Amino acid sequence: PSRPVEKAIRTKLTNSLKPDHLEVHNESHMHAVPPGSESHFRVLVVSSQFEGLPLIQRHRLVNEALKEELSSCVHALAIQAKTPEQWGSNPS
């Protein structure tokens, strides 16, 4: 199936944060939404752009990149934002 929202999330985070590693998980099936929905996501973003930034600033960068999706179809977005160093010592 084509997953336009998942694809958009991937593209936008890739373009704005140049991640070393990026995971986009559609977790909508775990919620009370119709099959095939793209409403609940979890992202793991590993980027050197997070270095020296407190957690809240990192999350703001992710939220900003996905502003359009968050104001329309995406109801929930769980964010893990790590530096390459943090990712190296704890890859989860």
Partner 1 sequence: LCSAADLQKDLGEMVKKDKVVVFMKGTPAQPMCGFSNAVVQILRMHGVDDYAAYNVLEDQDLRQGVKDFSNWPTIPQVYFNGEFVGGCDILLQMHQNGDLVEELKKLGIQS
For partner 1, give the closer residue by CB, 2 or 79: 79
- Contacts to partner 1 by CB under 8 A: 55-56, 59-60, 63, 67, 70-71, 76-80
Nearer to partner 1, 2 or 56 (CB): 56
> Would you say 10 or 59 has its CB closer to partner 1?
59
Q: To which residue do tokens 């084509």 refer? A: 2
Burial environment of residue 92 by CB neighbours within 10 A (0 to 12, 13 to 18, 19 or more):
exposed
Angle at 65 between CA 36 and CA 27, to 5 degrees: 25
Cβ at position 42, least distance to partner 1 in Å: 9
Beta carbon of residue 36, minimum distance to partner 1 (angstroms, whole number): 21
Compute the least distance from the CB of residue 20 to partner 1, in Å: 19
Give the other-Cβ count within 10 Å of 47's Cβ.
Answer: 24
Cβ neighbours for 2, distance < 8 A, ≥ 6 positions apart: none
